[in-house]
Amino acid sequence: MKIAYIVSLFPCLSETFIQREIEELTNLGHEITIFSLKHVNNKDVNHYSVRKFKRIIRYPNAIFGFFNFFFFMIFHPIKLLKIINTQVKYNKSDVTLMLKSLYVIPRVLRFKSIIKGKKIQHIHAHWATIPTTAAWMIHYTTEIPYSFTAHAWDIWKNTEMLSKKIIDSKFTATISNFNKELMSKDLPAHSVDKIKIVHCGIDVDQFTYNMPKKFTRLKILSIGRFVEKKGFPYLLDACQQLLADEVSFELTIVGHGPMWEEISNLIETYKLENHVFLTGAMPQEKLRTKFLASDLFVLPAIKAPDGDLDGIPVVLMEAMALGIPVISTKISGIPELIENDVNGILIEEKNIEQLVDAIKKMAEFSDKHKDYSQNARLKIENEFNIKKSAKQMAELIER
């Protein structure tokens, strides 16, 4: 089956789960064409992915986009007005989102032309925001069915058009029951069934399981963009207390982002320079060495003041697949991945005391490390396996 994938940016270091899904759908015999609404830049790209997917990626072309827009305006003015009116109607409370939605119209019309030329049979978008707006526009102008995957912030902020997108879709995938309950609130009852849980899985075969081994100094790893929802300042607060309590540890944080300076300053203020190390962002293949050198993975995710929060972070799945014990928080869909005291430890968000206690518990090697590790691996194999998720996605598209 010929399928179009619409994304904001491809490839993207923080969205390798989309790459894995496309690879597995290709392995199942589907012909995928990727439509990236933005051009890649060297700061957020996996160059191996560019080479690997170059043949099937399409990027915007301003000149062709202008001509497609011009001809569509001449030959289909009513449809163009409907597209514009829909974006204004649903996004009038958020001028920035409305302008972004209008701005992509020439790009979308260019992609529509390619999609029709390639005789694509289904369109799937990742993220419920602009990529799904693009899929909806193409569906409206071609009647090609579409679906989309909703992840996290895309259904918690800027949700004005979300219900319409779900109702008009063939189906809507989301990564957790937490998300489904949230998305169902404003839907008519007959449309709720359109929402399907499709876990954002990983390729388990690429993550060789390792039983935890005894250590003398606890090596902690955390990975994520330096933004509020990752909760890194709370992790540093915990590290300050661990240092005061003479716990032997070191922490490596992999990532980059707008809070880099704030986090660097906290490390200096707390005198943690010999215990906490920042590496910057890393491509997937280099992360493996960091995982394998770690005894514990910690992600103290929080709900940010603007409402942003994680869905089910893929880095937690990767750590669990490798057999590394994990600590995270009881927010969003994370409790659907980690069951407290069974395959990891869950704490309340922003609770430094609980975080310190959890790390101290894992600082002394015991049978718990092995129990958490083995149970975590089984959880990933059974419920967060990309091969199973991709097969489920393919079955939904083929219906």
Q: Which residue has the higher pLDDT, 243 or 286?
A: 243
Residue 50 confidence class, pLDDT cut points 50, 70, 90: low
Query: Within a 10 A sphere around the Cβ of 145, how many other Cβ atoms?
Result: 17
Model confidence at 153, pLDDT cuts 50, 70, 90, reads confident
- Half-sphere CA count of 270, side-chain side, radius 13 A: 23
Residue 363 has pLDDT above 80, yes or no: yes
Average pLDDT of the chain is 94
Domain boundary assignment for the chain: 2-201+385-398, 204-383
Please give the CATH superfamily to which domain 204-383 belongs.
Glycogen Phosphorylase B; (3.40.50.2000)
Report the share of the chain in percent with pLDDT over 70. 97
**Do the domains 2-201+385-398 and 204-383 sit in the same CATH topology, yes or no?**
yes
* Burial annotation 277-304 (CB, 10 A radius, 16+ → b, else e): ebeebbeeeebeebbeebbbbbbbbbbb
Q: Provide, rounded to the nearest whole percent, the portion of the chain with pLDDT above 90.
A: 88
Write out the E strands in the chain: 2-9, 31-38, 57-58, 122-126, 146-150, 171-174, 195-197, 218-223, 249-254, 276-280, 296-299, 326-329, 345-347
Which of the 8 DSSP states describes residue 127?
S
Does this model's pTM top 0.85?
Answer: yes
Q: Class of the 2-201+385-398 domain?
A: alpha beta
Q: Which residues contact 232 (CB under 8 A, 6 or more apart)?
A: 222, 224, 226, 253, 259, 263, 300
- Whether the pLDDT of residue 233 is over 80: the answer is yes
Q: What is the pLDDT of residues 308-349, one digit of tens each?
A: 899 999 999 999 999 999 999 999 999 999 999 999 999 999
pLDDT at 385: 97
Return the minimum-mean-pLDDT range out of 48-57, 86-95, 255-264, 274-283: 48-57
The whole-number average pLDDT for the span 147-167 is 91
